[in-house]
A and B are shown apart, each in its own frame.
Chain A
């Protein structure tokens, strides 16, 4: 499990920055793909609240629907993912 957590910790921050850049650039296709990618990783790490957010972002980008809500959703996704990252880092010290 330690191996998988380490892989998530090294990969997730990069995807989060990518998501922020894509939001700023209104790159909806890229944002859809990145949130899909992060969603899968969050799912295997058991971060279900962030999984739902990533799924909503992916859907809205795919359907080009409610795009004005995306900045708030991405903000929440960053917050929840960063919290999960901090918790997982702490978990690693106990393993």
Chain B
């Protein structure tokens, strides 16, 4: 079972939005939130194993040669496929959302009045999803160990029976 990741990265070159989202998520969730201005900075810190990355679609309004959101998304998925990436965009276009999902994004949030609430909901959905994944993995491991235990017990009983060590016990013929 993979460990629970407690970090959120926000990657956006809009400092006001990034700070507002950071404050909101810090207040509403138990995650530790860090902000990066561009994808390159985010990738430099990817070994900190963030669980969720909020990634802006446009990342080159300040640093013109910065990687764009889709390039960063692909790079994140290459180096850390377990990190869930949520795309933030000002574009309310279904084709853009579908494209980001095809590249492996978990969700797509349109920047606007309800964006912070949506971001908070996505964090809880990811948390629940990971918890369910963890439970499913735990039950799977438990059932494997139980099957092994019963198998060993059955072999032991059979061996004891065949060797005559338990043939005199009541209930055994």
Contacts and interface: CB of A to CB of B under 8 A. Distances in A.
Contacts of A3: 19
Interface in B3-27: 13-17, 19-20
Contacts of A8: 16
A43 B19 contact: no
A33 interface: yes
Which of A4, A39, A40 has the most chain B CB atoms inside 10 A of its CB?
A40
Contact of A41 (B16, B60, B112): B16
- Counting contact residues on chain B (CB < 8 A from A), the size range is 10 to 19
B37 to A, nearest CB: 11
A11 B61 contact: no
Nearest to A35: B61
B111 interface: yes
Greatest chain A CB density within 10 A among B13, B60, B62 is at B62
A63 to B, nearest CB: 14
B58 A44 contact: no
Main SS class of interface, B? loop
Contact of B58 (A15, A33, A43): A33
B90 interface: yes
Given A39-B90, A40-B111, A7 B16 contact: yes
Interface string B57-72: 0101110100000000
A34 interface: yes
The main secondary structure of chain A at its interface with chain B is: helix
Contact of A40 (B14, B60, B62, B64): B14
B104 to A, nearest CB: 24
Interface residues on A, range: 10 to 19
A36 B16 contact: no
Nearest to A14: B62
Nearest to B14: A40
A37 B61 contact: yes
A30 interface: yes
Contacts of A30: 64
A15 B90 CA distance: 17
Contacts of A34: 61
A37 B62 CA distance: 9
B58 A37 contact: yes
B19 A41 contact: no
27 contacts: A3-B19, A4-B20, A7-B15, A7-B16, A8-B16, A11-B15, A33-B58, A33-B60, A33-B61, A34-B61, A36-B58, A36-B90, A37-B14, A37-B58, A37-B61, A37-B62, A39-B90, A40-B14, A40-B90, A40-B111, A41-B14, A41-B16, A43-B111, A43-B112, A44-B17, A44-B20, A45-B16
